[in-house]
Amino acid sequence: KAGVTQTPRYLIKTRGQQVTLSCSPISGHRSVSWYQQTPGQGLQFLFEYFSETQRNKGNFPGRFSGRQFSNSRSEMNVSTLELGDSALYLCASSWRDRTFNEQFFGPGTRLTVL
């Protein structure tokens, strides 16, 4: 079974630009969660989508948004990029309601904001 895939793997942007990251979950998984990982703050939860609806949201500004499509694929958008947005963005999928929300992570997208 194919794992979670994320595109692109690396991205360099400048302040003020916007960026869209993509995630394809494991086949059959209906829940997709996004996380931001930095050395100082660790793994921080951004939001979770389940069946195209946002189910949970972390404590991030409105510049961070996401959506999920009918095939469970998800996108995350960050507008008006700031230097502090430089991080590894991880996507994870799960069965959600069948298990203890065990997360299957993709390899991440490394975003650098200059």
Partner 1 sequence: TQLLEQSPQFLSIQEGENLTVYCNSSSVFSSLQWYRQEPGEGPVLLVTVVTGGEVKKLKRLTFQFGDARKDSSLHITAAQPGDTGLYLCAGAGQAGTALIFGKGTTLSVSS
* Residues engaged in binding partner 1 (CB under 8 A): 4, 33, 35, 41-45, 48, 55-56, 58, 90, 92, 99-108
Name the residue nearer to partner 1 (CB basis): 34 or 85.
Answer: 34
Task: Tell me the C-alpha distance between 14 and 52, whole Å.
Answer: 30
Question: Quick one: which of 84, 80, 53 has its CA closest to 64?
Answer: 80
Tally Cβ neighbours within 10 Å of residue 109: 21
Output the smallest distance, CB 28 to partner 1, in A. 16
- The sign one gets for the Cα dihedral 79, 17, 88, 40 is negative
Name the residue nearer to partner 1 (CB basis): 18 or 43.
Answer: 43
- The sign one gets for the Cα dihedral 97, 22, 1, 28 is positive
Output the smallest distance, CB 15 to partner 1, in A. 26
Output the smallest distance, CB 92 to partner 1, in A. 7
Name the residue nearer to partner 1 (CB basis): 33 or 72.
Answer: 33
